[in-house]
Amino acid sequence: MHSNSQFQTQPQSQQQQQQQLQSQPAKKVPIAQKYKSLGFIAAGTYGRVFKAVRRDGDPTIEYAIKKFKPEKEGEASLQAGISQSACREIALCRELSHVNVVNLEEVYVDPLDRSIYMVFEYAEHDLLQILHHHSTLHGSSRQIPPYTIKSLLWQLVNGVAYLHANWVLHRDLKPANVLVTSTGVVKIGDLGLARIFQKPLKPLYDGDKVVVTIWYRAPELLFSSKHYTPAVDMWAVGCIFAELLLLRPIFKGEEAKMDGKKTIPFQKDQIAKIIDVLGPPTVEKWPTLSSMPDFNQLSTLRMDKQESNLRNYCFQYPYSTTENGYLLLAATLEYDPMKRLTADDALKHAYFVEDPTPGIVEGHGKYIFPNGNVYVGEFKDGQFHGNGTIHFTNGGRYDASWKDGRVIDGKFTFKDGLVYEPENWGYCTPSDRRFYHEVLNGFNQ
């Protein structure tokens, strides 16, 4: 009856023998007929991940197949729909397409045992693994090379900027969720907590009371703010940057567990750890602090130090970053979410502009933009010349003649062949128009 046995992790219950609904069109080939499992690589609360290759494809191209386990055990699993987390991850990954966000190849479902398989591109490593590897080394190879840190961080911010431009909050950025391919390309993974934040029908807090793993959780979340923004992801980016420099979590607080009642505990130790490094948050630095639901809890904390100690942490390994690196770190670990650096601004930060610059693949007329789009054409002295084409990550292309890095003449072609001359961009809705303008203005700089 079942041919997905090699991806099975538990025997089927008899319940699954019940009369089933049948889908009308010819059924898709079962997953096990298309992919061959090379073994189990990870497990989590969501289910398990297998490494696999296609039976009919290139055996060197590997995939990571995430198998969600049903929400509930046994018979109860048949009464429950798919989890909100699986639904989000499928819905979002199906739309998103960016070099620094893990690509979803396809989805398989098995209505009989209610299992869901998501087939992702395979990434060999993740930042947690890389951090662990370095922390076990001694001597000069212990610290991660400064250029590697910069490149990893830039790609991470680049992926986050793409998510935010598309109104997607990740809400669970941490080293384990930042994947890295064997060629060093960062892929943001695990969008199970991610959601669209454009015009929410209900406040974000109503949907999920607790978001982001404790050590990477932004101060506004720790003070139980009902409203939050993409800045929560940027705090996590700052924590990850610091961790790449320090080889250990910068704010390693003890999580206060939920007690018997369903009240959400105040994370006192986590805030104390942040204060140890950054000094206490104040209303002067963060004007809306006093309106946070858990503001009163601040007075229960010890406040010996007033000054930020972040610089000492940042330069624990003296050569791991520069003064600009420190400034970027400080701007992402900013208490006030309104003042915290956005992903877009982070990409333009002096740290990424100074040598050695990340993300630029020069030579042979190829240039990769900070947003993942690729330019093919004449490129010298850091500027575009003559005729060249930008291939957008979304499948579109921009053909243009350039002089001194500026567009003289050009047209934009969508993936399906529709052509828009710049003056015809009015066809897009105003927000799309602004988007394309922004993208191209970015190129013209």
- What does the per-residue mask of binding to other proteins show for 266-305, with x meaning CB under 8 A? ----------------------------------------
Our CB check for other proteins shows the closer of 279 and 396 to be: 396
CB of 12 to other proteins, least distance (A): 14
Binder of other proteins out of 5, 33, 394, 444 (CB under 8 A): 394
Task: Judge contact between 37 and 7, C-beta under 8 A.
Answer: yes
Task: Judge contact between 271 and 215, C-beta under 8 A.
Answer: no
Q: Is 109 in the site for other proteins (CB under 8 A)?
A: yes
Which entry of 172, 190, 208, 416 is annotated as an active-site residue? 172
> If you search the block for the tokens 């070099």, which residue do you land on?
99
Binder of other proteins out of 60, 141, 198, 445 (CB under 8 A): 198
CB of 418 to other proteins, least distance (A): 10
- What does the per-residue mask of binding to other proteins show for 52-91, with x meaning CB under 8 A? --------------------------xxxxx-x--x--xx
Q: Which amino acid is at 382?
A: G
Q: Find the part of the chain contacting other proteins (CB under 8 A) among 41-49, 103-111, 209-217, 274-282.
A: 103-111
Q: Is 427 in the site for other proteins (CB under 8 A)?
A: yes
Binder of other proteins out of 395, 406, 408, 437 (CB under 8 A): 395
Our CB check for other proteins shows the closer of 315 and 435 to be: 435
Q: Is 425 in the site for other proteins (CB under 8 A)?
A: yes
Q: Is 426 in the site for other proteins (CB under 8 A)?
A: yes
172 noted as active-site residue: yes
The residues that touch other proteins, with contacts defined as CB under 8 A, are: 19-25, 28, 78-82, 84, 87, 90-92, 94-97, 107, 109-111, 114, 165-168, 195-196, 198-202, 207, 394-396, 414-416, 424-430, 432, 435
State the catalytic residues: 172
